[in-house]
Amino acid sequence: MTPNIRPPAVAGMFYPGDALTLRADVQAMLRLVPPEELGPAPKALIVPHAGYIYSGPTAAFAYARLIPLRGRIRRVVLLGPTHRIGVRGLALPGCDAFATPLGTVPVDHGAEDLIKSLPQVIFHPATHAQEHSLEVQLPFLQEMLGEFSLVPLAVGDASPEEVAQVLEALWGGPETLIVISSDLSHFHAYATAREMDGATALNITRLTSYLNHEQACGATPVNGLLLLAKRHGLLPELLDLRNSGDTAGDRSRVVGYGAFAFTEGDAHVH
């Protein structure tokens, strides 16, 4: 049977549409991360999801942490907010793979079996069809990890506990990485955004799981991760914090971007 592949929806818009340029851009952003920023292996990341010219440099700070993990991480649990078609709960795409200019990433149907009986988990292909919050993470993951399987969840109306329940079921061991896709504040003046995003970053590093959508568009999946990170004793770290006024936009109405890593306690002793 022919596999059902979700084609790229924002290639050529949010990131380059041809493989050579895309790979070169991702590698160039990763090279800008100072070597001293390469810390312990993460269990989870929070990364932004705007066009690469805006948020790619910040995302690179998170993805650079995966340099030593190629071949070790075999499954990525990827959660992001819905921007086009809202849903109640967390939506699986109902496909076999996601495509980007760098190739296809198989969906982990075995992992889907672990969560599809949960009442907050649904199959909703339309929610994924044009959604960029998950797609823009894939080229970075493909470049860093090589071969891996994907559990893509578009997060709509859900409680932090409902998100945490899904993440707990998929937690796994060192073969599993959790990635939450979220930008921070939207469309404030530069100084206001810096103040707001600084406070949000402090809340995230304190594992404060009651962020709202003014602070982060992906507050729902972020809150679920923070709830579970506290239970598992993960150690949060702010890797980079900036906004579109620092990269490729004007400073009158900016969008905030933060990169965060969450490591297991024993990862810091090696």
Can you tell me the distance from the alpha carbon of 128 to that of 253, in angstroms, rounded to the nearest whole number?
A: 28
pLDDT of residue 269: 40
pLDDT of residue 270: 41
- Write out residues in the chain with pLDDT < 50, as ranges: 269-270
pLDDT of residue 267: 55
131, HSE (Cβ side, Cα atoms, 13 Å): 32
Dmax (CA) for the chain in angstroms is 54
74-93 per-position pLDDT tens digit: 999 999 999 989 899 999 99
Nearest to 48 by CA among 216, 181, 141: 181
The arrangement of secondary structure in 5-269, i.e. its CATH architecture, is 3-Layer(aba) Sandwich (3.40)
